[in-house]
Amino acid sequence: MKTITVFSQIIFTLLIFNLECYPQKHKVLELPEIIKKQLPKNFELLDIVSGDLNKNEKKDYLIALKSSNITTNDLRPLYVFVDNNLFCVNQYAIGSIDCGGMYPDCYKSMAIKNEYFSIEFYGGSGNNKWLHIVTFKYDKIKNELFLTRYSEAGSKTYGIDYNYNKADSFVTSKDFGIITFKDYNYNNDYFNSKIK
């Protein structure tokens, strides 16, 4: 009887760990055919969000993809579509599937609001978890996306959970200089770098 109880506790712990590591986080939107034709065939959908990046009252899309044959080092490109046209793509905007430490996939979500979009990442282990929020802005005049803010939580807040969404600290383009979306790299340290 004691063996069954211990076994049940182990199964319960693994189930809770799996739910916390891989929460149900992404809703599926139907993509217009014109966009589907512009996406590579050897990838699957990781996430998709829509909003109005250029404030023309038309849907724009962020589409994160993952390789059909996933390995830990595979790139997960992020495509930006404005007015159903491919605006740009970044192969390094989202870390690899093992970017989160004990929580393997650190990718959390994306959102578009007005001329801004953000990508959220969550990872770590035990009570040493972290959250990164990377924000870009569409510049109508330059017709370009720029990194405007890099926020983080976890260095000053102990034991944050998956639903935590407030930054402890942040840096802006005044700190790290002008960085386009195309040049952004998930693996760079924008808090401590001298990228200008």
Residues 138, 164, 154, 90, CA torsion sign: negative
> pTM of the predicted model, to two decimals?
0.79
Question: What whole-number distance in Å separates Cα of residue 147 and Cα of residue 29?
Answer: 26
- 17-71 residue pLDDT tens: 333 444 434 455 688 999 999 999 888 899 999 999 999 999 999 999 988 776 6
Neighbours of 181 (CB within 10 A): 21
pLDDT at 15 over 50: no
Q: Could you tell me what percentage of the chain is helix, strand and coil, using 3-state DSSP and rounding each to the nearest 5?
A: 15, 40, 45
* Residue 100 vs residue 92, higher pLDDT: 92
Domain extent listing, the chain = 2-183
Kindly indicate the confidence band of residue 79, based on its pLDDT and cuts at 50, 70 and 90. very high
Q: Give the per-residue pLDDT at 62.
A: 97
Give the Cα separation of 117 and 137 in Å (integer).
7
- Is residue 80's pLDDT more than 70? yes
User: What pLDDT score was predicted for residue 72?
Assistant: 55
**What is the distance, to the nearest Å, from the Cα of residue 149 to the centroid of all Cα atoms in its chain?**
14
Give the pLDDT confidence score for residue 55 in this predicted structure. 93
Could you report how far apart the first and last alpha carbons of the chain are, in Å?
64
What separation in angstroms does the CA of 95 have from each of 85, 133, 172? 25, 13, 21
Comparing 62 with 3, the larger pLDDT belongs to 62
Higher local confidence (pLDDT), 6 or 79 = 79
